[in-house]
Amino acid sequence: MNSNILEVRDLRVNYHTRHGAVRAVNGVSFDLHVGERLGLVGESGSGKSTAALALMRLIRPPGKIDGGQVLLDGLSLLELSDERMRQIRLAEIAMVSQGAMNSLNPVTRVRRQIEDALRDHDVKMQTRERAEWIGELLQRVGLPRTAADLFPHELSGGMKQRACIAIAICLKPKVIIADEPTSALDVVVQHQVMETLETLRADLGASVILIGHDMGLMAQAVDRLGVMYAGDLVEIGDIDELFSEPLHPYTRLLMASLPSLEQKEAARGIPGLMPSLLNKPTGCPFHPRCPDAFERCKVEEPKLRAVGISAVGTSAVGTNRNVACHLHHPTEGISSGSVPFSREAA
């Protein structure tokens, strides 16, 4: 039995502008295991949200999926007709996007918006059965059943986001993509919404891809983490291993930029800026910002490869760890530049 619900291979998304192709997702590959929570993290412009939209086949011109493969439970999504993909969306793979709450129709009651989603997918239900399912959905996302009869403007931000999650799960998808689902919410509501997502994932037996830039949130919410930079996946691994021994210098800097309780001075950002995707640096795209860069980094682009090392210091590192950095060639060992990091500090 295949333990992967989703397999992404060499996914390429370009934005075709009059200045040339902007390589927003540059040959990204990863698997999502059944029931797993996978995080994708990176700064703005890293390609994580574009990758998520590509999985849903929601890239709009001038963007275009220019290559790769996305297998959902063995079904090749990039080869489906538009109509078949429309049916698959929501039913098999659903997305709660950034600011999804703003996509609710303000003049249509919540009940009607969920009914529309069911009707669009030809779900046949008796009126009573449908009303019961909508009530149950709302309860599952932490809303009262009576919220069905409210208009979106009568809901708080957190309630609107919950209503969006109710729509996303109304057909019990196998994969839920949550793209910065809590970005517009205050910290307390963020925590509640994340708890709701986790409860739903467990109830539905779904797998989740969580997109974000907050390493602290990722530490609490995912099983595995992928780190993206300038359209590339530069590191991916088990969340505990990755936090105890970040290998890619960018991952280390992302972690170092997290505030901690012990730290007296202000948290430091990562020096420099993400490069233009129209004009990426030669070699490793991170080399102009990388504190560990050496000559080879300027001319040779590192590939994402498994790190075949059994133990480092006190923490074991398995072969599930992949990193795109010349410091970590499988036969070379792990550089002394890797600094242990406490996950609790997040």
Nearer to ligand SF4, 65 or 284 (CB): 284
Quote the CA–CA distance of 197 and 191 in Å, as a whole number: 10
Q: Shortest distance, CB of residue 190 to ligand SF4, whole angstroms?
A: 31
Instruction: Provide the CA 21 distance to its chain's centre, in angstroms.
Output: 24
Q: Shortest distance, CB of residue 246 to ligand SF4, whole angstroms?
A: 11
Cα separation values, 191 from 31, 197, 221, Å: 27, 10, 10
Q: Shortest distance, CB of residue 105 to ligand SF4, whole angstroms?
A: 45
CB hemisphere CA count around 16 (13 angstroms): 8
Residue recorded with tokens 């902007």: 22
Nearer to ligand SF4, 239 or 284 (CB): 284
Which residues touch 140 (CB under 8 Å, ≥6 apart)?
166, 169, 199, 200, 203
Q: Shortest distance, CB of residue 336 to ligand SF4, whole angstroms?
A: 12
Instruction: Provide the CA 143 distance to its chain's centre, in angstroms.
Output: 25
156 in helix, strand or coil?
coil
Quote the CA–CA distance of 163 and 142 in Å, as a whole number: 9
Q: Which amino acid appears at position 24 of this protein?
A: A
Quote the CA–CA distance of 297 and 284 in Å, as a whole number: 5
Q: Shortest distance, CB of residue 287 to ligand SF4, whole angstroms?
A: 4
Q: Shortest distance, CB of residue 240 to ligand SF4, whole angstroms?
A: 22
Nearer to ligand SF4, 95 or 334 (CB): 334
Nearer to ligand SF4, 162 or 326 (CB): 326
Q: Shortest distance, CB of residue 193 to ligand SF4, whole angstroms?
A: 34
Nearer to ligand SF4, 95 or 255 (CB): 255
Contacting residues toward ligand SF4, per CB under 6 A: 248-249, 284, 286-287, 290, 292-293, 297, 302, 325-327
Quote the CA–CA distance of 126 and 196 in Å, as a whole number: 28
Nearer to ligand SF4, 12 or 287 (CB): 287
DSSP structure string for 81-94: -HHHHHHHHHHTEE
Nearer to ligand SF4, 66 or 292 (CB): 292
∠ Cα 253 259 263 (to 5°): 105
Which residues touch 320 (CB under 8 Å, ≥6 apart)?
224, 237, 238, 241, 306
Mark residue 185 as left, alpha or beta (left: phi above 0; alpha: psi -120 to 50; beta: remaining). beta
Q: Shortest distance, CB of residue 311 to ligand SF4, whole angstroms?
A: 22
Q: Shortest distance, CB of residue 200 to ligand SF4, whole angstroms?
A: 37
Quote the CA–CA distance of 136 and 330 in Å, as a whole number: 50
Cβ atoms of 3 and 33 within 8 Å: the answer is yes
For 235-258, the three-class secondary structure string (H helix, E strand, C coil) is EEEEHHHHHHCCCCHHHHHHHHCC
Nearer to ligand SF4, 160 or 328 (CB): 328
Nearer to ligand SF4, 160 or 326 (CB): 326
